[in-house]
């Protein structure tokens, strides 16, 4: 079936990447394998989502004897379970849990915190639209801070040692970076392996799509409505088309591959936007920058924001160089974070 092709699994790739870290012992690849295992578990449930009502609703036992759970709860538990077995992890923090969870926190071998949104865009599940998982990996802080749970988690995105996401779409794709470019792996469902399908992804310097919830345009502050109108009117050389899925991971994945711009601005209802800094904007910004793109909150680079609370929200504007430069020109305060 794969005759003549050089197949590379995500595990092989991670092991190779790891050789870049002096003194790496294999624990980092073991950690990431916890994420890929959970992703396979989640995708297998997501693929059966439409059957849940047929085979038994929540709190009921389905024909295979499994108790049905809401998919976002299941996804959270899958990640918590797979990652808590990794000795190198001290803290797990999730959109689904109010507080970070300490696992091997006291052990000196615990070097990393993993922060994730287990099922982003989960309202799309009912209508067969793509959803995703996002994750951010931070290193244990040095010195006194190393025993302070908040200090582990509340680090600016620039300190991420790795980040990525999984899109459960027409296929399941995992995209990750350890700070050495961005690589994508598509799940081969027949063998259950993520195979390298997108090596060294570079975001095109300009795209043809803008992506935002235009239903909120009258609630957006200046200069967002004007900027969006400029895109439609061809001020950047051609009139842009609109694409908005309503799953950030899927909207970003298209932006990564095709170029363009994704905007979730502040609105009257949500003055800091809707998306969460630590487990949504930070991993997306890390991947975007690694692929040659730019991510800002409208005032500063996303990766420079010093977080103050674990679930804090942030506006997010992310995309290709040309669109982001044009956005910066529309928002003078931003010029510094883009240039």
Binding site for ligand AHM (CB under 6 A): 95, 117, 120-122, 213, 246-248, 264, 274
Nearer to ligand AHM, 110 or 167 (CB): 167
In the complex with ligand AHM, the residue whose CB is nearer, 95 or 297, is 95
> Which of ligand AHM, Mg ion, none does 213 bind, CB closer than 5 to 8 A by kind?
ligand AHM
| Residue nearer to Mg ion on the CB measure, 120 or 289 | 120
In angstroms, give the least distance from the CB of 72 to ligand AHM: 8
In the complex with Mg ion, the residue whose CB is nearer, 75 or 290, is 75
Residue 130 touches which of ligand AHM, Mg ion, none (Cβ within 5-8 Å per kind): none
Select the binding partner of residue 246 from Mg ion, ligand AHM, none (C-beta < 5 to 8 A, by kind).
ligand AHM
CB of 122 or CB of 290, closer to ligand AHM: 122
Q: Tell me which of Mg ion, ligand AHM, none is bound by residue 274, counting a contact when its beta carbon lies within the kind-specific cut-off of 5 to 8 angstroms.
A: ligand AHM
Is the Cα torsion angle 25, 26, 30, 33 positive or negative in sign?
Answer: positive
Q: Which does residue 289 touch among Mg ion, ligand AHM, none (CB within 5 to 8 A, set by kind)?
A: none
Which of Mg ion, ligand AHM, none does 337 bind, CB closer than 5 to 8 A by kind?
Answer: none
Minimum distance from residue 183 beta carbon to Mg ion (Å): 23
Selection from Mg ion, ligand AHM, none that 122 binds (CB < 5 to 8 A by kind) is ligand AHM
Residue 117 sits in the site that holds Mg ion (CB under 5 A): yes
Q: Which stretch binds Mg ion (CB under 5 A): 117-125, 172-180, 207-215, 228-236?
A: 117-125
Pairwise CA distance, residues 23 & 128, whole Å: 44
Check residue 120 for interaction with Mg ion (CB under 5 A): yes
Q: Three-state SS across the chain?
A: CCCCCCCCEHHHHHHHHHCCCCCCCCHHHHHHHHHHHHHHHHHHHHCCHHHHHHHCCCCCECCCCCECCCHHHHHHHHHHHHHHCCCCEEEEEECCCCCCEECCCCCCCCCEEEEEEEEECHHHHHHCCCEEEEEEEEECCCHHHHHCHHHHHCCCHHHCCEEEEEEECCCEEEEEECCCCCEEEEEECCCCEEEEEECCCCCCCCCCEEECCHHHHHHCCCCHHHHHHHHHCCCCCCCCEECCCCCHHHHHHHHHHHCCEEEECCCCCCCCCCCEHHHHHHHHHHHHHHCCCEEECCCCEHHHCCCCCCCCECCEEEECHHHHHHHHHHCHHHHHHHC
Smaller CB separation from ligand AHM, 316 or 326: 316
Output the smallest distance, CB 120 to ligand AHM, in A.
Answer: 5
Give the residues lining the site for Mg ion (CB under 5 A): 117, 120
């Amino acid at each position: 079936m794969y005759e003549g092709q050089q197949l590379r699994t995500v595990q092989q790739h991670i092991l190779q990447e790891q050789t870049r870290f002096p003194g790496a012992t294999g624990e980092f690849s073991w950690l990431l394998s916890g994420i890929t295992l959970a992703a396979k578990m989640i995708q297998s449930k997501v693929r059966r989502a439409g059957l849940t009502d047929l085979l038994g609703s929540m709190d009921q036992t389905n024909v295979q004897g499994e108790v049905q759970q809401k998919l976002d709860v299941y996804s959270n538990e899958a990640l918590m379970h797979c990652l808590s077995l990794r000795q190198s992890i001290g803290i797990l923090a999730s959109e689904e849990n109010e507080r970070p969870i300490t696992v091997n926190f006291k052990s000196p071998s615990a070097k990393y915190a993993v922060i994730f949104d287990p099922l982003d865009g989960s309202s799309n599940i009912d209508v067969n639209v793509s959803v995703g998982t996002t994750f951010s990996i931070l290193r244990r802080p040095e010195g006194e801070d190393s025993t302070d749970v908040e200090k582990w988690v509340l680090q600016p995105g620039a300190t991420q040692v790795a980040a990525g996401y999984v899109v459960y779409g027409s296929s399941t794709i995992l995209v990750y970076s350890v700070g050495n470019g961005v690589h994508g792996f598509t799940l081969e469902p027949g063998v259950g392996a993520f195979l390298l399908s997108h090596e060294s992804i570079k975001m095109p310097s300009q795209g043809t799509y803008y992506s935002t919830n235009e239903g909120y345009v009258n609630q957006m502050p200046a200069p967002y409505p004007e900027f969006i109108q400029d895109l439609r009117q061809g001020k950047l050389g051609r009139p842009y088309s609109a694409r908005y899925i309503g799953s950030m991971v899927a909207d970003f994945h298209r932006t990564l591959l095709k170029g363009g711009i994704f905007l979730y601005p502040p609105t009257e209802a949500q003055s800091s936007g809707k998306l969460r800094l630590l487990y949504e904007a930070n991993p997306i910004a890390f991947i975007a920058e690694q692929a040659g793109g730019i991510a800002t909150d409208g005032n500063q680079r996303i990766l420079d924001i010093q977080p103050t609370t674990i679930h804090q929200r942030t506006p997010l504007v992310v995309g290709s160089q040309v669109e982001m430069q044009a956005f910066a020109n529309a928002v003078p305060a931003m010029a510094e974070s883009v240039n």
